[in-house]
Amino acid sequence: MSRNFMRSRQSGSALVVGIFIITVMFVLTAALIRVLGDADDNVNLEVWGTRALLAANSGADAALAQLFPPGGSAATDCSAVGTSWTPPNQPGFSGCSISVGCNLITVNFNGDTLHQFTLSSNAVCEAGQCSGGAGGTSNCLRVNRMVEVQARVD
């Protein structure tokens, strides 16, 4: 008689253990899905950040080419540099806008005049629906990178 009594007391424990295991597996699966989603977002940010950095580098290169034209004489002021640079119509530049700035410091030292230019290139690359309004959507990805270059003319 004691055998039958023991079976009846343990008959529901397998159900409780099964529900516990299913719950734990569900929580682990949900956490893994979230980690994979975050990793995907980080890869997108890394790619767009690299695109913005290279676009800013290209803007600085274009400004340097305006200051120091090939086969021409070097500029003595910032008037040769525009405030923005329009990138070529290439897939790597799509969604990117580049603004360029120039600052000139002129120094007279021992009878020599030195012109030091500080060029800044700021690239903003965006994808999705970035309307700029207060009610922004979650479909917007915007990355900003800035490059500063210094050049001197003796």
Tens-place pLDDT, residues 49-91: 999 999 999 999 999 999 988 888 888 888 888 888 888 888 8
pLDDT tens digit sequence for 97-112: 999 999 999 888 888 8
How far is the C-alpha of 50 from the C-alpha of 33, rounded, in Å?
26
How far is the C-alpha of 106 from the C-alpha of 45, rounded, in Å?
40
For the chain, give every domain's residue range. Answer: 2-153
Q: What is the dihedral of CA 107, 110, 113, 119, to 10 degrees?
A: -40
Phi, psi of 77 (to 5 degrees): -150, 175
